[in-house]
Amino acid sequence: MWSFLHKLSSPKYYYEWSGKWIPWLGALTLILMGIGLYWGLVIAPPDYQQGEGYRIIYVHVPAAWMSMFVYVVMAVAGVIGLIWKIKLAEIVVAECASIGAAFTALALMTGMLWGKPMWGTYWVWDARLTSELILLFLYLGVIAIYSAIEDPRTAAKAAAIFAIVGVINIPIIHYSVVWWNTLHQGATVTKLDSPSAHPSMLIPLLIMAFAFKAYFVWLLFIRARNEILSRERSTNWVKKLVAAS
Amino acid sequence: MQEFFHMGGYAFFVWSSYGLTALVLIFSVIVASRRKKKIFKEIEDSFED
C-alpha cells in the first residue's frame, strides 16, 4: 500500500497508471448513469406527496452529496500536499476545486428548481441553502487563490490551508437541517438505522450516487493527467511521449 | 410516452434539472479531453523551435 502510494506520487507513474483506469471509469460511469436514470425516471413510483416532481431527487441529492464529498477529498489532498509536498496532491486540490464548484452549482440550481414547485420559491435564506452557497464560495476561493498566485507551489500551499479551514462548513451543511428550523427536508438516507425512503426509490438514488462518484473519479483522473502533462512538459518522459504519438 | 414527458405537470422543473446536470457533466468531460489535445499540440510545436 505505502509503496504503491509512493510510486503514485511520481508524475510519470501516475500518468501511465491513470491512463489504464480512465476508460474503465468512463464505462462504469455510463453504465451506472444509464441504469440509475432509467430506474429513477421510469421504474420508480411517483411520490405520494410530490407526485412526479420528486424525481429531481435523482440528480439533486447525488450532486449535493458530491459537493461535500469532493470538498473533503480536496482538504485531505491539501493536508497530504502540505505535509509531504507531493505534487500530485497539490494538483488534486486544484482539480477538486473546479469539479466541486460544478457539483455545488448543480446542487444549488436543481435545488432551486425543486424548491419552486414544492415550497413556492426558488430561494430562501435558510441554513441548508445558505451553508451550501457558502460552500460554493469556498470552492471559488480556492480557484481564485490558484489564479492569483503565480508560483504553483506557493499557490498550492495557500489554497490547501484555505481549503482545510473551510472544512468546518461540511458538518454545518450536514447538520443544518437538524440544528436550525429550515424549509429543507431532513435526512432521508443517512439515518443509518432506518432510512425513511422506500427501497423502490432508495435503490435508484444510491445507483445515481455511485454514478456521480464514478464520474468524479473519472473526471479527476483526466484533469490531473492533463495538469501533470502541462507541468512536466519540459521533462524527457513527456517529450518522448508526445514524440511517439 | 407523452405522460412521461409531462411528469405530472412538473415537466419544466424536472427536465430543466436533468438538462442542466447533463450539460455540466458532459461539457466538463469535453473540455478536459480537448485540453489534453491542446497540451500535446503545444509540446509538439515546441519541438520545431
pLDDT at A167 over 80: yes
Q: Which of B2, B7, B10 to mutate to test the interface with A (most CBs of A within 10 A)?
A: B10
| CB contact (8 A) between residue B33 and residue A245 | no
pLDDT at A190 (0 to 100) = 61
**Cα gap A150→A152, rounded to integer Å:** 6
Whether A169 and A128 have beta carbons less than 8 Å apart is answered as no
Q: Which of B2, B15, B33, B39 to mutate to test the interface with A (most CBs of A within 10 A)?
A: B39
Nearest residue in B to A211, CA atom? B25
**Cα gap B4→A212, rounded to integer Å:** 24
Q: Which of A60, A223, A242 lies nearest to residue B44, judging by beta carbons?
A: A242
Residue A183 binned pLDDT confidence (cut-offs 50, 70, 90): confident
Q: What is this model's ipTM?
A: 0.93
Positions in chain B short of pLDDT 70: 49
**Cα gap A227→A191, rounded to integer Å:** 39
| CB contact (8 A) between residue B29 and residue A222 | yes
Lowest average pLDDT, out of A133-142, A183-192, A202-211, goes to A183-192
Q: Any chain B CB within 8 A of the CB of A219?
A: yes
A207 burial type by CB count under 10 A (0-12 exposed, 13-18 middle, 19+ buried): buried
| CB contact (8 A) between residue A56 and residue B9 | no
pLDDT, one tens digit per residue, over A108-166 is: 999 999 999 999 999 999 899 999 999 999 999 999 999 999 998 899 999 999 999 99
Q: Is B49 helix (H, G, I), strand (E, B) or coil?
A: coil
Rounded to a whole number of angstroms, the distance from the CA of B36 to the nearest CA of chain A is 6
Whether A149 and A155 have beta carbons less than 8 Å apart is answered as yes
pLDDT at A169 over 90: yes
> How many other β-carbons are positioned within 10 Å of the β-carbon of residue A77?
24
Count Cα atoms within 13 angstroms, Cβ side, for A55.
Answer: 29
pLDDT at A3 over 70: yes
Q: Which of A53, A109, A116 lies nearest to residue B20, judging by beta carbons?
A: A109
pLDDT, one tens digit per residue, over A214-245 is: 999 999 999 999 999 999 999 999 999 998 87
DSSP string, chain A: -HHHHHHHTSHHHHHHHHHHHHHHHHHHHHHHHHHHHHIIIIISPPBTTTBGGGGGHHHHHHHHHHHHHHHHHHHHHHHHHHHH--HHHHHHHHHHHHHHHHHHHHHHHHHHHHHHHHHS-S----HHHHHHHHHHHHHHHHHHHHHH-SSHHHHHHHHHHHHHHHTTHHHHHHHHHHHS--SS---SSS-SS--SS-HHHHHHHHHHHHHHHHHHHHHHHHHHHHHHHHHTTTSHHHHHHHHH-
Which of A94, A175, A173, A174 has its CA nearest to residue A139? A94
pLDDT, one tens digit per residue, over A69-102 is: 999 999 999 999 999 989 899 999 999 999 999 9
A124 Rama sector, left if φ>0, alpha if ψ -120 to 50, beta otherwise: beta
Whether A110 and B21 have beta carbons less than 8 Å apart is answered as yes
Q: Which of A63, A116, A219 lies nearest to residue B29, judging by beta carbons?
A: A219
Residue A45 binned pLDDT confidence (cut-offs 50, 70, 90): very high
**pTM of this prediction?**
0.94
